[in-house]
Structure 1
């Protein structure tokens, strides 16, 4: 379950990572258990006394992450020792883990963590969009040499280049928000038929979704892993969009080109003359991790019978690491763009003519596109 402390902190913004830590994950399992007691009481499936006993046990429970991790080995997931500890504390156990299976708790907890992390990623993406829009408007008519297949091509505008960056971020961010908003609650019981809470099971499920602010459909997705794959792939596309920007900034910053420079470049331990585009380089490094993680999530779609054997277990760290890597890439591209120096004189020296074609108009069309 453990995640990378260095990787999170080196990104400069740990807000998203804070929702993806082991403790956040386990806290979300307890959040599920408490909301389940409330939902079961609200629908009349358990008594107010049983719900009160459950809440008292959950609210007063403290745990050690390392202890839970060690105890998880026996059942292959952390919800089992957590539920056992709560039942041990409760004076009435009928309100603890009512009608649930461990996958219900784990999936719902991961959905909560993912949605909260995406909220933080989206916050920074909004700032990235603002920086890119400002660059595009400022340099709408700034001529720069276009380059294709590694060679100089024809002139274009730097505004159109940055508008292209903006468009990639805007569209991928919208898809990430959409998939996060669609993350559902999981509550279906041991084999997905809610038999343990019949005839109240569906009512409990829907009330639980309402209490946790998660979608209530699909009703059962124990072996339908598309909700997590969707949000993971959307995050990987965001990482790809900002990696494109990072790659261009690195290329434009090369000594032989020197058309842009980061506002606070990085140095070298052995070459004091260097001014490295360190934030863009770090963005590239974080983003490069996401395709492999996304591929692992795609592999989890092979989820057999009524419970995944290994495929489900592979999701927990993979999705959290993918979202954390995306958050770090987004944070680093924000740092790279904030204060980015545009050397218009150097750009102009390489342009043989200033006929930009429709570049300024295309820039306007991109910037004024649908932002919903």
Structure 2
């Protein structure tokens, strides 16, 4: 049996991206396991509020804990009802002596949305460790090269001198804002529990109490109270991830261009080779970062398109989110991992940079670097 983690995308998309700490939370198995986690927490909340008996809750917990989810089988069974919750709940109810504690007052979207939220928050938390390392590497580059002269380039041509420190500080500033936004939007993701048409009718008069207890038990926000057709919480996370991918792609593009043989001002510590040209030292990590990040705008556009969620349940728009958001987060995580590899040990050829600066006047470049870093540190 393979010891590789259970991932959902191709070998290249996940394993070749470097770290897969975020990706393990985005697989189909992680998604289905999170549906079970929702169902178990719902049984606990319904018991705690007195909506179901302790016996029904215990029967539900036993069935869920003993449940072995066959991803392929659930995928096939999902075709009939259009989502995986329906066959999973049917199997759980069939496995328990008292089905009253299974899927209490919930609808399929409650389980799927909450599962997607749990997967998203865990993936972002895993990504954050590497992301903070990237920010530190950029901070170190900016401080180290505060006064390192380099020729600035605008519109593809040499312009006037600047410093590599201010360039690195600009990279950091570009990454820091969407990284912070991604953390905040992921932390704000809410529980979904509102029943068939979003009014908690099936658990009246304890519905809101169950909802809030479920949110607390899962560590999720309580508001918005129901967001079956308000997809803004997930879109906010997806857009932040896409912006972050764009920010690291900008760095990757600069590194790739500055590593060109004719420029040779930067080079990766562990460049990639060529299958046919042994003389090449490709900035392979930066190139891969660019490739992963390029996928994210289209995925983000799909999430924006899914905001058209009709009536009380989306007709296809909701379904489009499940894989899209996970793919978007996975592509972003791979882009961050590859830019981390590119920056770690990045070789800055200061002599080459200086040789192209005929007049090493850099104005307030050092001051700009300091102010930029101080502003980020203050946050």
Work out whether the TM-score is over 0.5: yes
Q: 2:123 aligns with which of 113, 117, 123?
A: 117
TM-score normalised by L of structure 2: 0.97
* Distance in 1 of aligned mates of 2:85 and 2:115: 10
Q: 2:25 aligns with which of 19, 22, 37?
A: 19
Compute the displacement of 1:208 (Å).
0.3
TM-score normalised by L of structure 1: 0.99
2:329 aligns with 323
* Distance in 1 of aligned mates of 2:255 and 2:165: 14
8 Å contact from structure 1 (residues 3, 22) kept in 2? no
Compute the displacement of 1:267 (Å).
0.3
Compute the displacement of 1:4 (Å).
2.8
CA deviation string 1:60-110 (max 9, x = no partner): 110211011001100010011111110001111110000000000000000
* Distance in 2 of aligned mates of 1:261 and 1:166: 19
* Distance in 2 of aligned mates of 1:211 and 1:5: 35
8 Å contact from structure 2 (residues 32, 69) kept in 1? no
Return structure 1 stretches of 4+ with deviation > 6 angstroms.
none
* Distance in 2 of aligned mates of 1:239 and 1:88: 44
* Distance in 1 of aligned mates of 2:216 and 2:10: 33
1:242 aligns with 248
SS at match of 2:372: helix
8 Å contact from structure 1 (residues 144, 347) kept in 2? yes
* Distance in 2 of aligned mates of 1:58 and 1:218: 28
Q: Establish whether residue 47 from structure 1 lines up as the match of residue 68 from structure 2.
A: no
8 Å contact from structure 1 (residues 3, 317) kept in 2? no
1:107 aligns with 113
* Distance in 2 of aligned mates of 1:281 and 1:354: 31
8 Å contact from structure 1 (residues 259, 343) kept in 2? yes
* Distance in 1 of aligned mates of 2:245 and 2:376: 22
Q: Establish whether residue 274 from structure 1 lines up as the match of residue 280 from structure 2.
A: yes
* Distance in 2 of aligned mates of 1:103 and 1:5: 30
* Distance in 2 of aligned mates of 1:274 and 1:223: 52
Structure 1, gaps ≥5 residues long: none
Q: Establish whether residue 134 from structure 1 lines up as the match of residue 136 from structure 2.
A: no
Q: Establish whether residue 199 from structure 1 lines up as the match of residue 205 from structure 2.
A: yes
Structure 2, gaps ≥5 residues long: 1-6
* Distance in 2 of aligned mates of 1:159 and 1:363: 6
* Aligned-residue CA RMSD (Å): 0.9
8 Å contact from structure 2 (residues 173, 376) kept in 1? no
* Distance in 1 of aligned mates of 2:77 and 2:257: 50
1:213 aligns with 219
* Distance in 2 of aligned mates of 1:160 and 1:309: 49
